[in-house]
Amino acid sequence: MKFRFALLSAVYLASAAVAQAAPAAAPAIAAAPAAASANALTPDALINTVSSDVLAQIKNDKAIQAGDVGKIATLVDQKIMPYVDFQRMTASPVGRNWRSATPEQQAKIQAEFKTLLVRTYAGALSQVRNHTISVKPLRAAPSDTEVVVKSELKSGSQQPIALDYRLEKTAQGWRVYDMNVMGVWLIETYRADFGSVINAGGIDNFIAKLQERNKANAAKS
């Protein structure tokens, strides 16, 4: 399951479609789509554009393939985060406790959760080689403000991995706020885990637990 969610982080977080990832001969660091043009894309086109860009960079960056957490964090910041509503992605699994948290606590939770995701899936990203993404045609009305984009991650004769993305329409364009890997939504996966920790010891205890987990993960790398 780590590998499947990792690909989502790499792709997710981004985004992917009928196109395949850029070939190995592509530049090692492909330029991210210009913000203005990317913000004007339809949800499925955004997923296709960003995901293809991310996969191309992974395939051509030996450090990322080796699990370099610093390089992966940079990749996430530059290629993925501009198209993600990370506050919503963080607030949703925290649930009602998010509203009672102070702005400082919310900032700490977002920072630690992001670190958790990057470190948790860093190893899985090293497995990305000849994967391609196929985005299914989007069926949505022009007035829709939230949609689900369905795609598949393929690699040779292996069974495709289903990747679905939930996006919301914002003033800046479409933004991803949740993802599903083979039937499991990321937000739902963390909601039970986060809720039990918060209910047992409160927000500060929850932040401390996230920090402890991140330190433990860092010590292993």
Quick one: pLDDT at residue 126? Answer: 64
pLDDT at 22 (0 to 100): 29
Burial of 110 (0-12, 13-18, 19+ CB in 10 A): middle
Burial 113-136 (b: 16+ CB within 10 A, else e): bbbbbbbbbbbbbbebeebbbbbe
| Residue ranges of domains in the chain, CATH in brackets | 2-220 (3.10.450.710)
Q: What is the pLDDT of residue 6?
A: 45
| The pLDDT value given to residue 97 | 95
**Rounded average pLDDT per 10-residue block, the chain, 221 residues:** 44 33 32 59 93 87 86 85 93 95 97 86 68 89 95 85 93 94 88 92 96 89 67
Please report the pLDDT score of residue 157 as a whole number: 82
Query: Taking the C-alpha atoms of 97, 89, 77 and 212 in order, what is their torsion angle to the nearest 10 degrees?
Result: 40
Q: What is the pTM of this model?
A: 0.79
What's residue 85's pLDDT? 95
